[in-house]
Amino acid sequence: MVGFMWDDRPWKGGEDIRAMLVLLRREGDVRARAFGTGSSPPAGVEFLGRLSGEELADFYRSLDVFVSAGWTESGPMTVPEAMSCGVAVVTTDVGSVRLWSGDGSVMRVVAPHDVKGLARASGQLLTNERERVRLGAAARAAIAPHTWERTARAFESSLAAWFDMRPAAAT
């Protein structure tokens, strides 16, 4: 099962997802499911609409491969969400993806607009259970330290250092 977030905005890569599915289905039966806000998901995709909380986690855990095909983003949050659920991820090289990628050791990264690359990487993972499971476990381990609490503390510490918010010494 391959899954993705569906969004009608062009830079989210929906048309690339649609084309990727066509290529994957030429090679065999590929089931797909999606969540999101878009209005016209690809044919043959189980579309679940908006999900949050445990529903969203269940969605990710139901997948073999999660695909993110955005063309330009600062940090597609669906990537670390899928990673934290132990799903093998195929994503385009946008925003902060490289920070999470482990130089390709915890996910497959392709160039934006590379439909054939998305299909090739996804197809290889769909047919190689051992690699898919290894990648999902590596992704979960790699993203685990990046909690909201830890990130907020690091950000706050950086701001304090930047603005030198420490109380002035008494004279």
Q: Which DSSP symbol is given to 169?
A: P
Whole-prediction pTM value?
0.85
- Cα–Cα dist 101/134, whole Å: 14
- Cα–Cα dist 90/120, whole Å: 10
- Cα–Cα dist 130/31, whole Å: 19
The residue that leads in pLDDT, 164 or 84, is 84
| Residue 115 host element (H or E) | helix 115-127
Average pLDDT over the chain, rounded to an integer:
88
The pLDDT > 90 percentage for the chain reads 59
Q: Which domains does the chain have, with CATH numbers?
A: 2-145 (3.40.50.2000)
pLDDT at 165: 59
pLDDT at 85: 94
- Cα–Cα dist 165/150, whole Å: 20
pLDDT at 46: 95
Q: What is the pLDDT of residues 113-159, one digit of tens each?
A: 999 999 999 999 999 999 999 999 999 998 887 766 776 777 777 77
pLDDT band of residue 166 (cuts 50, 70, 90) is: low
Q: What is the pLDDT of residues 41-80, one digit of tens each?
A: 888 999 999 999 999 999 999 999 999 999 987 778 898 9
Residue 160: CB atoms within 10 Å: 11
Is the pLDDT score of 168 beyond 60?
no
Q: Which of 109, 100, 103 is nearest to 141 (CA)?
A: 100
